[in-house]
Amino acid sequence: MSTYLVTGGAGFIGSHLAEELLRRGHNVRVADSLITGKRSNLDHIPAVDFREGDLANEAFAREVVEGCDYVLHQAAIPSVPRSVKDPIASNRANVDATLNVLVAARDAGVKRLVFAGSSSAYGNTPTLPKSEDMPSNPLSPYALQKVIGEQYLQMFTRLYGLETVSIRYFNVFGPRQDPTSPYSGVISVFATALLENRPAKIYGDGGQTRDFTYVANVVDGVLRACEAPGASGEVINVATGGRISLNELYAEMKKIVGATVDPDYQDGRQGDVRDSQAAIDKAKSILGYQPIVSFEDGLERTIEWYRTTPAAATAANA
Ligand code: UD1
């Protein structure tokens, strides 16, 4: 049994990590500012040691990291458009906090730190699928901040011998993703709109593509990254390995839900990437990773969750 710190553990992905770690019999501490996370995401797992605070505060970072074997650094303001609108707040959450957590992990003798990287690092590089050896090309403050995080991790591995791994997520979706903010992930927004037969917005022509990844796959990849020999110092994509356009996604979700409304097309978003698809060979070879839930099954499970969870529906109407 080990002790894991999940920063951002009251958020969507973090709460799934916390749940799986407890199921495996580990001690789990969560640090969350509750800026985008919600305490209620942890209601079903009361064994979590919850600490509320801001990791951009160095003393708080040191306090929560102390005594942990592993750190899963998920805390972030995870939004491209929000970072375009307010790059300073986003930098504080995504860069300043990451540096504090790294310093604290180094000083506390943490065995390994795993960081939530992002597919946005690739930008509009023409080649698909996107593999980790391609140069990064950030198109938004968010993407740049995630690349800086990865580079800080690699530097800490080289300079101080702290074991670190960056996992690049590709458009993660699933239960508990918050659909209520203007910056919410597109599947959560489409699901809650279509379940009420309301049109959802598509930014641009809807021809942009994404490698949507069900959250259980990311949990599996991240937990493998804590243990895998040869992973330290690496940046590794964890995704499904396919891609689907927004227009196709909308049509598929409309069919599953039985909605009849057409999308409401709006101007494209600043900083939006056109196409995103992961090469997952490196995750396969270093982590022994294989997607465990397909895009289609994940989409069904997710829609079912929004259909049957009153809290999600209420929040969507708020
Ligand atoms: C990006 C990153 C992802 C990162 C996430 C953080 C890429 C390729 N992906 O996701 O790795 O974790 O930020 O949140 O950069 N859209 C609509 N209607 C909506 C909402 C979104 O059409 O109501 C469109 C967006 O313009 C975009 C796509 O759907 O083209 C996906 O958007 P979103 O779910 O916000 O994620 P990304 O910005 O792609």
Same-domain check for residues 69 and 195: no
SS3 state at 155: helix
Structure tokens at 112: 């390994």
- Residue for token pair 């979706």: 173
Q: What is the CATH number of the domain that holds 114?
A: 3.40.50.720
First to last CA, the chain: 41
pLDDT at 318: 38
Same-domain check for residues 162 and 183: no
Q: Is residue 166 part of a domain?
A: yes
Element (H, E) at 246: helix 246-257
Same-domain check for residues 128 and 194: no
Which atom of ligand 1 is nearest the CA belonging to 184?
35
Q: How far is the CA of 267 from the centre of ligand 1 (A)?
A: 14
Q: Is residue 289 part of a domain?
A: no
Q: Is residue 58 part of a domain?
A: yes
pLDDT at 317: 42
Same-domain check for residues 119 and 252: no
Q: What is the CATH number of the domain that holds 196?
A: 3.90.25.10
CB of 273 closer than 6 A to ligand 1? yes
pLDDT under 70: residue ranges of the chain: 310-318
Number of neighbours of residue 131 by Cβ within 10 angstroms: 15
Q: How far is the CA of 190 from the centre of ligand 1 (A)?
A: 12
Domain, as residue range, for 34: 3-172+213-238
Alpha-carbon gap, residue 207 to 245, rounded angstroms: 5
Q: Is residue 284 part of a domain?
A: no
Q: Is residue 52 part of a domain?
A: yes
- CA-closest candidate to residue 251, choices 311, 194, 174, 308: 194
Closest-CA residue, ligand 1 atom 17, reads 202
Concerning whether 142 is annotated as a catalytic residue, the answer is: yes
Same-domain check for residues 123 and 257: no
pLDDT at 61: 98
Q: How far is the CA of 14 from the centre of ligand 1 (A)?
A: 19
The residues pairing with 214 across neighbouring beta strands, listed in sequence order, are 173
Same-domain check for residues 221 and 259: no
Q: Is residue 141 part of a domain?
A: yes
Total domains, the chain: 2
Same-domain check for residues 27 and 159: yes
Q: Is residue 287 part of a domain?
A: no
Which atom of ligand 1 is nearest the CA belonging to 183?
35
pLDDT at 314: 52
- CA-closest candidate to residue 218, choices 292, 278, 134: 292
For β-strands 112-118 and 164-169, DSSP reports them as parallel
Closest-CA residue, ligand 1 atom 3, reads 171
Same-domain check for residues 102 and 168: yes
Q: Is residue 95 part of a domain?
A: yes
Q: How far is the CA of 171 from the centre of ligand 1 (A)?
A: 7
Same-domain check for residues 48 and 103: yes
Per residue in 232-244, pLDDT (tens digit) is 999 999 999 999 9
User: Which of 90, 171, 173 to mutate for ligand 1's pocket (most ligand atoms within 8 Å of CB)?
Assistant: 171
Which atom of ligand 1 is nearest the CA belonging to 210?
8
CB of 209 closer than 6 A to ligand 1? no
